[in-house]
Amino acid sequence: MASDVEEWKDELYGTDIRAEIERFAEEGWESIPDDEQDAWFERFKWYGLYHQRAGQESYFMMRIGPPGGVLAPGQFRRIVEIADEFSRGPAENPVFGNGWIDVTTRQAIQLHWIRLEDVPEIFEQLEDVGLSTVQACGDSWRNIVGCPVAGKDKHEHVDADALATDLHDTFKKNEAHSNLPRKWKVSVTGCDEGCGQGDINDLAFEPAEKEIDGETVTGYNVRVGGGLSRNEPRLARDIDVFATPEQAVDVAGGISALFRDHGDREDRYNARIKFLVDEWGPEKLRETLQDDYVDFELETAGEDLREDYSYNAGDADGKHDHVGVHEQNDGNYYVGLNVLVGRIGVDEAYDLADAAEEHGSGEVRLTQRQNIIFTDVPEENLETLRSEPVLEHYSPDPHPFQRGSIACTGTEFCSLSIVETKNRQVRYARWLTQNVELPEGVEDFHIHLSGCTASCAQPQIADVSLRGMKTRKDGEPVEALDIGLGGGLGENPQFASWVTERVPADEVPGAIANLLENFAAERDDETQSFREFVLERDDEELADLVEPEETDYEDPYLHNTKRTWYPYAEDDDLDASPAPARADGTPIPSDD
Amino acid sequence: MTIAVRTLDDGAWISVNDSRQVSVSDVWTLSRGVFCDCEPAYVLLEGFFDVDVDGSVVAASTVGQCLECGTRDSIDRLPVGRMIDGKFSPYDPAGVQWLREPDAERDGESS
Ligand code: HEM
Ligand code: SF4
Ligand SMILES: [Zn+2]
């Protein structure tokens, strides 16, 4: 039997949802009939609106997806203005205040505490500068990710920005591809550093060369079926197809249509294409694509550049991210700024928008490491840009523990989460920076924290992977983390292996400190990277090196942040929740 | 009376009569033997993958992990609450729960 979600999508999905959102916005939150809420919330996701968790009813998360993370001049500022006006909650976050933007691991922006009544106005303001929330959530083409400096990068072999934009223009609001069995995540890489993270996407285009009719053509190899969620991580698999830049959109459309027709619509937990690739194998997928979904002869895979991939590759040298000052292909510079856990308060965001306009072209790009990049900065402006006060906090030269930190949304807003994430990761990064010496030669150290197995913070591709759990400590249930080690991308990507489970959250900084101390003492020499060190050892040996321990680190979120309406509210009890609320913020009394 | 039950948001919720009622990621206390050998077993539920109704009892199928011994397994039809006078009343995760015996299915009425 088809799931309820499939029935709702059959009834109404895609662009038809817009008029309904406008209608509900006009009539107010209370006009959504109680017995239709489940169906409408599911549909709203297609327009980038995700209903927040229990205790926060009537408030939405809104996601805005610029392809490849490229925000043209003016677009970043517009998002900040929208956050300033519409993204204010009924309580304050102690670290971030009230009003901010979140840069996500898929090069999107998330806003929280959005009122349905404000959505039409927000849509207008976004569209006015060419932005949109279309298909940012829901069962369709999500934001297309890729090299964040595509088109400007000295390492580029093929123009990933052009393809990401083509795919975006072709497959957003495209009726034939609007209703897929599940989310559809696409990545385009054009450089020899591998920074598109193709291996963890449903569909990946990766730079390659191929001899066709005696001529060397630059284009893309195609991989399918990567993803991290649900304890079932998969690397995208090589389907032995090379696509010229001209063919790439047709190949993408063919694979998306194949997924639409053959993906599992009975069982949402088996729906992602990674499971279809498991079942069919890459050969059958290629055959079906050739026979039924493209009308030209597919080329076999070309020569790829994976050998050179340095991004998050775990080598002791090489470029691992886009933070810092780097020369572009036109002689200007791009400047990557560190955004701890991806969150920027509204006031500082205005300062950043000013700085990007004053010293660069005003373009701001988003990276898959939750950071931002200013592009087109002339050499003579570098000095003055670096002296801007806002760059003290959003630094092009951050401490490795700040630079390597990624955290998902967590219990603050997400109903799947088991633990508090962003504020905790900020505290971890501070404590580690102040108390732990990195071993000689270690300049990159990635720590990713996800609140549950959905893995939005991509924990499995970090040096230290943290995943939300619970444990019992002194007889009380407390928030805890599983600790995994040795994940990363590069030529031979590797998922972290979960070596130590259920460590109370207040003992995690001590565990990382001890782990690094043991690594420094036991590594072969100072050129051995952490990832190499982990690869050489089995899980038991590694578990012995972790040694969780209480330190002077204090964790204010140990006790069940999930059972609150907002973990940081003065009275955080679910019964004290001001939600659901009307457009002006006054609570709506419940009828029981 | 028909009771509409479903899982929502990728297993984050059990919805009963179109209202989000039981949330995932809570710790449930289960009696010995039904999940692992711990007494009692404190089991963190990591995701609901199915739900149905047995008479007046709403039972969820889920994946969980024991916080003491680390056993990770699926649980078939864990009772998460019941209908009383047409209203859903959730069970307290901290109160000791036992799984339904298989023969309880005889009066089962799946939605
Ligand atoms: C309120 C609930 C949720 C919030 C706030 C949330 C937040 C996020 C964020 C910020 C990202 C990166 C951004 C992007 O897509 O642009 C992300 C990605 C992701 N989300 Fe979620 N998410 C939620 C629910 C879910 C659910 C229900 C699942 C799956 C069952 C899920 C699985 C993932 C995965 C696997 C990734 C990234 C890793 C990958 O690319 O495979 N998330 N989510
Ligand atoms: S990883 Fe889990 S907790 Fe974190 S945002 Fe994603 S779904 Fe929520
Ligand atoms: Zn046990």
Mean pLDDT for back-to-back runs of 10 residues, chain A (592 residues):
85 93 95 92 95 93 97 98 97 95 97 97 98 94 95 89 95 94 95 92 96 94 93 94 97 97 91 95 97 97 91 77 94 97 98 98 97 98 97 96 96 94 97 95 93 92 95 91 95 93 97 97 92 94 96 94 92 91 84 52
The alpha carbon of residue B79 and the mean position of all alpha carbons in its chain are separated, in whole angstroms, by 4
* Ligand (nearest to CA of A408): 2
How far is B12 from chain A, CA to nearest CA, in Å?
A: 5
- Given a contact cutoff of 8 angstroms between Cβ atoms, the answer to whether A91 and A568 are in contact is yes
Can you give the pLDDT at residue B103? 41
For a substitution probing ligand 2, which of A52, A414, A453, A479 has the most ligand atoms within 8 Å of its CB?
Answer: A414
Single out the residue of A170, A171, A108, A184 nearest to residue A140, CA to CA.
Answer: A184
The residues spanned by each domain of chain A are 4-128, 150-308, 327-391, 403-559
In total, the C-beta contacts within 8 angstroms joining chain A to chain B are 66
Which helix (H) or strand (E) segment holds residue A564: the answer is none
Residue A317 exposure: Cα atoms within 13 Å on the Cβ side: 3
Contact B25 A37 (CB under 8 A): no
Q: What is the pLDDT of residue A396?
A: 97
| Closest by CA position to A422, among listed A198, A208, A105 | A105
Is any atom of ligand 2 closer than 6 Å to the C-beta of A452? yes
The dotted CATH code for A4-128 is 3.90.480.20
List own/partner pairs for B9-12 with CB under 8 A and 24 or more apart. B9/A415, B9/A416, B10/A268, B10/A269, B10/A416, B10/A454, B10/B47, B11/A269, B11/A416, B11/B47, B11/B48, B11/B49, B12/A415, B12/A416, B12/B47, B12/B48
The predicted pLDDT at position B93 comes to 87
pLDDT at position B106 is: 36
Task: Write a three-state SS string for chain B.
Answer: CCCCEEEECCCCEEEECCEEEEECCCEEEECCCCCCCCCCEEEEEEEEEEEEEECCEEEEEEEEEECCCCCEEEEEEEEEEEEECCEEEECCCCCCECCCCHHHHHHCCCC
Please give the residue of chain A at the shortest CA–CA distance from B41.
Answer: A472
Q: For residue A455, how far is its CA from the centre of ligand 2 (angstroms)?
A: 6
CB A420 within 8 Å of CB A479: yes
**Chain A CB contacts of B12 below 8 Å:** 415-416
- A403-559: same fold as A150-308? yes
Interchain contact, A471 vs B8, CB within 8 Å: no
Residue A568 in contact with residue A356, Cβ under 8 Å? no
Closest CA to A343 of A540, A109, A28: A109
- A477 neighbourhood in chain B, CB within 8 Å: 27, 42, 67
pLDDT recorded at residue A586: 86
* Residues of B in Cβ contact (< 8 Å) with A468: 25
> Which ligand has an atom closest to residue B67 CA?
3
Please work out whether the CB of residue A455 comes within 6 Å of at least one atom of ligand 2. Answer: yes
Q: Give the residue from A143, A154, A133, A243 showing the smallest Cα distance to A187.
A: A143
| Interchain contact A406–B (C-beta under 8 A) | no
Q: Would strands B13-16 and B19-23 be described as parallel, antiparallel, or unpaired? A: antiparallel
A424 alpha carbon – ligand 2 mean position (Å): 14
The model's pTM is 0.93
> B5-34: b or e for each residue (b if 16 or more CB lie within 10 Å)?
bbbbbbbbbbbbbbebbbbbbbbbebeeee
Residue among A456, A458, A467 whose CB has most ligand 1 atoms within 8 A, to mutate: A456
pLDDT in tens, A229-265: 878 899 999 999 999 999 999 999 999 999 999 999 9
Distance (Å) from CA B94 to ligand 3 centroid:
15
Is the minimum CB–CB distance between A501 and chain B shorter than 8 Å?
yes
A501–B23 C-beta distance less than 8 A: no
Domain A327-391 sits in CATH at: 3.30.70.3340
Q: Which CATH superfamily is domain A403-559 in?
A: Sulfite Reductase Hemoprotein, domain 1 (3.30.413.10)
| Beta carbon of A409 within 6 Å of any ligand 2 atom | yes
> What's the topology of domain A150-308?
Sulfite Reductase Hemoprotein; domain 1 (3.30.413)
For tokens 């959102």, the residue is A21
Return the residue whose CA atom lies nearest to atom 2 of ligand 2.
A452
For ligand 2, whether the C-beta of A406 sits within 6 Å is: no
Take atom 27 of ligand 1 and give the residue whose Cα is closest: B10
Residue B64 tokens read as 């969980």
User: Can you give the pLDDT at residue B1?
Assistant: 59
| Whole-angstrom distance, CA of residue A150 vs CA of residue A245 | 15
For residues B1 and B37, is the Cβ–Cβ distance under 8 A?
no
What is the per-residue pLDDT for A519?
A: 96
What residues in B contact A415, CB-CB < 8 Å?
9, 12-13, 20, 23-24
The pLDDT tens digits for B80-111 are 999 998 889 999 888 877 765 444 443 333 33
pLDDT of residue A316: 58
**Pocket (CB within 6 angstroms of ligand 1):** A 50, 61, 63, 104-106, 108, 110, 142-143, 185, 200, 227-229, 408-409, 413-416, 454-456, 458; B 9-10
Q: Is A591 on the interface with B (CB under 8 A)?
A: no
The set of residues, in sequence order, having a beta carbon less than 8 Å from that of A575 and lying 6+ positions away, is none
B25-74 pLDDT, tens digit each: 889 998 877 789 898 899 999 889 999 998 899 999 999 999 999 999 99
CB-based contact A477 B42, cutoff 8 Å = yes
> In which residue are the tokens 């298989």 written?
B102
Quote the ligand 3 centre to A470 CA distance (angstroms).
13
